[in-house]
Amino acid sequence: MDAIVVGIDVSKDRLDVHVHPSGEAFGVARNAEGLDALNARLLSLAPQAVAVEATGGFESVVAASLGGAGLPVIVVNPAQVRAFANALGKRAKTDPIDAAVIARFVEATKPEIRPLPDADTRLLAELVARRRQIIQMIVAERQREKQITNRRLKKSVARLVLALTKELNVLDTGIDEAVRGSPAWREKDELLQSVPGVGPIVSHTLLAEMPELGELDRRQIASLAGLAPWTRQSGQWRGRSFTGGGRRSVRTVIFMAAMVGKRCNPVLKAFYERLITAGKPKMVAIIAVARKLLTILNAILRDKNPWQTA
């Protein structure tokens, strides 16, 4: 008997569900009653996987509800699902069609099912995400200030930047208190920050948005961050390797830490200089440093041993 795989397309008010291979399709409201009904119906089917497409945050409550009911939940990348749909020739795009494509994508690719973050980790992730939004708003206002000549408008921008900066400080305090209030997080935070080049922002982002750190091998963790190289090759032709995909916020902070680490971390500095001496472009070398740093952090959390300079 074929394994049952469920695809769920999430919108603001509705969930469209497709059961593969039976082809059963139905919809429920995206509210408490709808989620309860969905959980009960899917539990009776005993699916091998229930896939929810990431849709800008609307999927979080759905995934948490399904996971809390004991269902095997996977949050899938919408870009990968759309590429799969194009490969199947599915040019039409409706919510029921999307749910069916999601189910077929998971049935074909069989992604690994991992435990969902707990409530505390989700809260930390939301705090870190909000911090990132505040910073983006500050940067946008400062860019506008450069284009404004009117003094009153400049003062308006200054007041808003001041208010956003105060809010940023409040969020930083909240994030620090959340981390320090959890013995498990506090231990991991101290281990991560023992590495030269890794500060609170990098550590807290990793704790919030990559809870798998320390539990996967180096190739898997690099792939999650979008730092695993992939190669283009056809016959005798071989193109350049690229990195991409993965968790953008994690990749961003690791890249920032690599920029610092290549100057102040003796291991990363030597590694970077060796690559440059070998003729590697600077950007390629920085990406390699970021990947090496992530591998080091993964090993440190796995072994629970702080950074030690050899």
Tell me which amino acid residue 81 is: V
In sequence order, the 6+-apart residues with CB closer than 8 A to the CB of 235 are none
pLDDT digits (tens, 9 = 90+) for 151-182: 899 999 999 999 999 999 999 998 888 888 88
The overall pTM is greater than 0.75: no
Q: What is the pLDDT of residue 193?
A: 94
What is the C-alpha separation between 175 and 192, in angstroms, rounded?
A: 16
SS3 labels along 68-125:
HCCCCEEEECHHHHHHHHHHHCCCCCCHHHHHHHHHHHHHHHCCCCCCCCCHHHHHHH
Among the listed residues 251, 260, 263, the one whose alpha carbon sits nearest the alpha carbon of residue 287: 251
Domain ranges of the chain: 5-109, 119-181, 200-303
Start-to-end CA distance of the chain, whole Å, equals 55
Query: Stretch 289-302: mean pLDDT, rounded?
Result: 94
Share of the chain above pLDDT 70, in %: 90
Q: Average pLDDT in the 205-210 region?
A: 88
The C-alpha torsion from 72 through 5 and 40 to 73, rounded to 10°, is: 20
* Residue 122 one-letter amino acid: R
pLDDT band at 90 (very low <50, low <70, confident <90, very high): low
Q: pLDDT, tens digit, for every residue of 264-277?
A: 999 999 999 999 99
Interval 183-201: pLDDT, tens = 888 899 999 999 999 999 9
Least confident piece of the model among 58-62, 104-108, 123-127, 294-298 = 58-62
Give percent of the chain with pLDDT exceeding 90.
39
**CB contact at 8 A, 243 and 226:** yes
CATH topology of domain 5-109: Nucleotidyltransferase; domain 5 (3.30.420)
